[in-house]
Amino acid sequence: MRYRSILSRIKQDGKVDKQSLAESTGTSVAMIEVLLEELMRLGYLESDALAGCTGICSGCSSGCTGAVKGLPDNFWTITARGEALISSKS
């Protein structure tokens, strides 16, 4: 299931861009964008926008070093429901 593989990759790597997700799942960036939206709609994933970032590190989960330029538009947080999907056997 692609949902599980995307969530697992985000969990494993912490920070991952859409291109890397596409390459690791054997699909296109456009499809990854659709799948990420679907994962958010289903409640498996939440988007963490960097709109409030001042560029001064305050210990957020983004892992940036204050060099905001060039960061991806969004980071994602796996919800409890997403964690359950990763852990499920089926």
Nearest of 51, 55, 60, 56 to residue 15 by alpha carbon: 60
9-50 pLDDT, tens digit each? 888 877 778 888 888 888 999 999 999 999 999 999 987 655
pLDDT at 12: 85
Q: Give 2-87's CATH code, choosing from 1.10.10.10, 3.40.50.720, 1.10.490.10, 1.20.1050.40.
A: 1.10.10.10
pTM of the model: 0.71
Q: Which long-range contacts (CB under 8 A, 24 or more apart) does 86-89 make?
A: 86/4, 86/7, 86/8, 86/11, 88/4
Q: Which residue has the higher pLDDT, 54 or 23?
A: 23
